[in-house]
Amino acid sequence: MRLISWNVNGLRACIKKGFFTFFEKVDGDIFCVQETKMQVGQADVISRGYHQFWNSSERKGYSGTLVFSKKEPIFASNDFKAGREKHPREGRLITLEYEDFFLVNVYSPNSKRGLVRLDYRMNWEDDFREYVLSLGNKKSVILCGDFNVAHEEIDLKNPQSNHCSAGFTPEERQKFSELIRQGFIDTFRFKYPDKKDCYTWWPYMKNSRARNVGWRIDYFLTLGIPTRKIIDFKTHDDVFGSDHCPIELEICV
């Protein structure tokens, strides 16, 4: 089974830049999108042969997630119940239940410049972890999306100058480490434990992408799936249309 994840930084804009060219070429069984920045019906999103599942932010032009799936799931839901009263409806989570696993597409909150949203991010992380672990008590979990954190120094170009930057604070990295300690596997690092200079997001400034000055903040994590079933991981850094590139997981489930 081939799964794709891509933060498109605005689906309407990305469609104009060739989103569906890549979508059709890669032919994923499940294709997860983050940061759609749109409501259903604001653009023609035609995906023959796929079911669509949307979670749009109440705030228009902001955040949002989407999943295309060839196979119809048993059940689909948005967001999570734990601490729901604390969390604005920003369209950050979609869960699809299949016979053998849960698929969770996530767009984690950004701590923002000046870390003005770091405290909220920490609360969100705790509720999110509780939620995905509760799923793992029932069946295997495939968790993907833009986590807005580079886990280790190898996961960004300039770790020393970014230690207190949003996405590389000790607090954010610790929350990601807690997922790993609870049994989630970073499938990229499982396949390529020492690979350097492999990133999924590049700032628009200073020609960063051409110089490969980037961060790895997009992930596929698995829980309860034997590692022998993790076949391959690809980073499609030759695909443009967003400040992120698509990532791909090939797995047997």
Is the dihedral angle over the CA atoms 34, 39, 43, 49 positive or is it negative? positive
Number of independent structural domains in the chain: 1
Query: Which residue range forms the structural domain that includes residue 22?
Result: 2-251
The pLDDT of residue 253 is above 90: no
Return the residue matching tokens 């790895």: 216
The 10s digit of each residue's pLDDT in 190-242 is 999 999 999 999 999 999 999 999 999 999 999 999 999 999 999 999 999 99
What would the DSSP string read from start to end of 154-205?
Answer: GGBS-SGGGTTSTTS-HHHHHHHHHHHHTT-EEHHHHH-TT--S--SB--SG
Tell me, what's the pLDDT at 86?
Answer: 79
Which among 146, 155, 186, 218 is annotated as catalytic? 146
Return the residue matching tokens 């119809």: 72
Is 107 noted as a catalytic residue in this protein? yes
What's the alpha-carbon Rg for the chain, to the nearest Å? Answer: 17
Burial of 29 from C-beta contacts in 10 A (0-12 / 13-18 / 19+): middle
Q: Write the single-letter amino acid at 171.
A: E
Tell me, what's the pLDDT at 167?
Answer: 98
Is 237 noted as a catalytic residue in this protein? no
Is 250 within 8 Å of 4 (Cβ atoms)?
no
Tell me, what's the pLDDT at 83?
Answer: 57
Which pTM was predicted? 0.97
Across all residues in the chain, what is the average pLDDT?
96
The pLDDT of residue 31 is above 70: yes
Which among 50, 98, 107, 199 is annotated as catalytic? 107
The pLDDT of residue 247 is above 80: yes
CATH number for position 25: 3.60.10.10
At residue 62 the predicted structure's pLDDT band, cuts being 50, 70 and 90, is very high
